[in-house]
């Protein structure tokens, strides 16, 4: 496969060898700007716009609120990455820990009641949660197969714009952008949720 790819790209380069270079592409767009809003409030509003449910809590009440939200969703068997803080895990929930040396099977992930993670950053302007398999996030599969996702967002992780988020991310990491529950529409514009990921998304903002 790699040989075929290299051959095709070599043929393209040869065909374009005599083509003059086009004009430079201007890249003077704004990377940061004042949105005129409190970022936490703006992010909460935009996340909710995409049919996710937004909750807020103080750091001291984080574990209590996580437990309340999971119990309200009847999520009793919940997947977590191995490095998720112990303080985030109420004792009355059965935690399915996904470890690098002992990853949970597809069947276990699919049969769980949900997944609890942190995030890399959140884009207030678009209401987008970004995961990059960093601390408290785990591998991509654990947030795609369960039908329910509870994501914890700290206020300091929220940025205003897409360029700000891109600048803070490492492009070689497995990056996932989440704007609301997974959804798609068919040719008749019937919306179907839960196609490429969780159909239910709760976001808990810690501020």
pLDDT digits (tens, 9 = 90+) for 147-183: 999 999 999 999 999 999 999 999 899 999 999 876 6
At residue 102, φ and ψ (nearest 5 deg) are -150, 70
Q: Using CA atoms, how far apart are residues 185 and 176, in angstroms rounded to an integer?
A: 20
In 80-174, which ranges are continuous DSSP H helix?
A: 106-111, 162-168
pLDDT above 90 as % of the chain: 73
Q: Which residues pair with 191 in a beta bridge?
A: 185
Tell me what the mean pLDDT of segment 136-154 comes to.
97
pLDDT at 1 over 60: no
The pLDDT value recorded for residue 2 is: 61
The pLDDT value recorded for residue 67 is: 97
Tell me what the mean pLDDT of segment 39-51 comes to.
95
The pLDDT value recorded for residue 91 is: 94
Residue 193: pLDDT band with limits 50, 70, 90: low
Q: Using CA atoms, how far apart are residues 32 and 29, in angstroms rounded to an integer?
A: 9
The pLDDT value recorded for residue 183 is: 67
pLDDT at 18 over 90: no
Whether 81 and 137 have beta carbons less than 8 Å apart is answered as: yes
Residue 25: pLDDT band with limits 50, 70, 90: confident
Tell me what the mean pLDDT of segment 122-143 comes to.
97
Whether 62 and 152 have beta carbons less than 8 Å apart is answered as: yes
Give the SS3 label for residue 78. Answer: strand
The pLDDT value recorded for residue 161 is: 94
pLDDT at 7 over 70: yes
Alpha carbon of residue 182 to chain centroid? 11
Give the SS3 label for residue 177. Answer: strand
Query: Half-sphere exposure of 155 toward its Cβ, with a 13 Å CA cutoff?
Result: 11
Q: Using CA atoms, how far apart are residues 12 and 55, in angstroms rounded to an integer?
A: 51
Tell me what the mean pLDDT of segment 58-85 comes to.
97
pLDDT above 70 as % of the chain: 94
The pLDDT value recorded for residue 34 is: 83
Q: Which residues pair with 116 in a beta bridge?
A: 150
The pTM assigned to this predicted structure is 0.83
């Amino acid at each position: 496969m790699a040989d075929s790819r290299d051959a095709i790209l070599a043929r393209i380069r040869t065909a374009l060898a005599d083509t003059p270079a086009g004009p430079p592409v201007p890249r003077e767009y704004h990377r940061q700007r004042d949105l005129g809003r409190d970022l936490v409030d703006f992010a909460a509003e935009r996340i909710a716009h995409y049919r996710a449910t937004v909750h807020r809590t103080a750091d001291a009440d984080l574990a209590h609120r996580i437990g309340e939200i999971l119990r309200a969703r009847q999520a009793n068997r919940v997947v977590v990455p191995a490095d998720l803080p112990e303080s985030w895990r109420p004792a009355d929930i059965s935690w399915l820990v996904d470890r690098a040396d002992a990853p949970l099977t597809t069947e276990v992930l699919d049969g769980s009641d949900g997944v609890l993670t942190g995030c890399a950053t959140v884009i207030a302007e678009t209401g987008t949660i970004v995961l990059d398999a960093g601390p408290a996030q785990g591998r991509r599969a654990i947030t795609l197969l369960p039908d329910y996702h509870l994501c914890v967002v700290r206020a300091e992780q929220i940025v205003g714009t897409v360029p700000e988020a891109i600048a803070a991310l490492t492009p070689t990491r497995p990056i996932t952008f989440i704007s609301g529950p997974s959804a798609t529409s068919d040719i008749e514009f019937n919306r179907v949720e839960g196609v490429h990921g969780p159909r239910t998304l709760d976001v808990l903002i810690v501020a």
